[in-house]
Amino acid sequence: MRYKVFGRHTGLRVSELVLGAGNFGTRWGHGAKPDEGRRIFDRYAEAGGNFIDTSDAYQFGESEELLGEYLQGRRDDFVLATKFTQSPTPKGGILVTGNSRKAMSISVEASLKRLKTDHIDLYWVHFPDGVTPAEEIVRGFDNLVRSGKVLYAGLSDFPAWRVARAATIAELRGSAPIAGLQVEHSLVERSTEQDLLPMGQALGLGIVAWSPLGGGMLTGKYRRGEQGRAEGLGGRVFQAENNAQRTAVLDELLAVAKDIGATPSQVAVAWVATKGSLPIIGPRSLEQLEDNLGAADLKLTAEQIARLDKASAPALAFPHGMLSGRELQQRMTGGKLDEFDHPALPIA
């Protein structure tokens, strides 16, 4: 396992694969029992992994509770990330859900107790609630960082314009920076590449990508009649093979995997890593973890990446389709497009 610095606003050193703990527990009716969760956790640590991602809502709080047990005696060996917004109970009231400072304050205290720790390394707002302004979120994060209960702050599943606004407010006010961005990204969900990923890279955010396997579709197991998340989580965060392009993507993925002697899962996770983010793997069994870990040793060639890029290329929304046109780019570079070296990172 190799390690990377998390974005450009921290010196935090994190492993290249993130362990998602959404499957730790069984309160959703689908997941890993405590003993299996511990085996997954221990094997991930043995492989060099140090970045754990969970949420107070995962398995209705059981994921955090189990992690609190697994981390005993080795808390400082891991970067622990969790989220708030939804409440750990489906009956959470109106004051403990959403992103207000009150909900943030109540949620962080409850997570600290479940996790059996005095601080959270990376605290995410799980989703935008549509009502809490960026100023309130930034101020709430700043207070938690100053108190020592949280070390770094991040936004998950936010539109790009809201992330950019929050990051700018934090920068101008000298508040704790927005350090991280969490998005869905896979060969069957590439819309994040149009605004979210370049924005995150330009602003120096550490980026983690959830569901790099498209909810399991990219393992190829659904073609074999298996179900997994298609039924186990009521179809949530599951990308079905429901159109011609997705069939073509899976066909190409299987072909690349066969060519290099890897599994489709490993190729899919490795492809996400080539786009500048840290893939979150979310195994439900030790067998799945072992498969996922193989992605860390896989180096896709430029030709293999190009094949997968071509098969999965999304339709570009405005203005990206217009701006990507070669004629316009030639005009903007005085006819020297092929001789012009573009910056390595997107420009904000």
* Domain boundaries 3-315, CATH class: alpha beta
Tens of pLDDT, residues 221-257: 888 766 655 555 555 667 887 889 999 999 999 999 9
pTM, two decimals, is 0.95
CA 180, CA 175: separation in Å to the nearest integer? 15
Q: Please enumerate in sequence order all residues whose Cβ is within 8 A of that of 190, keeping only pairs 6 or more positions apart, or say none.
A: 312, 313, 314
122: pLDDT strictly greater than 90: yes
User: Choosing from 3, 44, 58, 152, which is the catalytic residue?
Assistant: 58
Tell me which of 5-9, 133-137, 275-279, 322-326 is least confident: 322-326
94: pLDDT strictly greater than 70: yes
CB atoms within 10 A of CB 296: 20
What pLDDT is recorded for position 238?
73
Tens of pLDDT, residues 26-73: 999 999 999 999 999 999 999 999 999 999 999 999 999 999 999 999
SS (H, E, C) 203-257: CCCEEEEECCCHHHHHHCHHHHCCCCHHHHCCCCCCCCCCCHHHHHHHHHHHHHH
Instruction: Using alpha carbons, list the distances in angstroms from residue 276 to 5, 180, 196, 231, 292.
Output: 12, 13, 12, 31, 18
Q: List the chain domain ranges.
A: 3-315
123 catalytic, yes or no? no
Residues 18-28: what's their mean pLDDT? 97
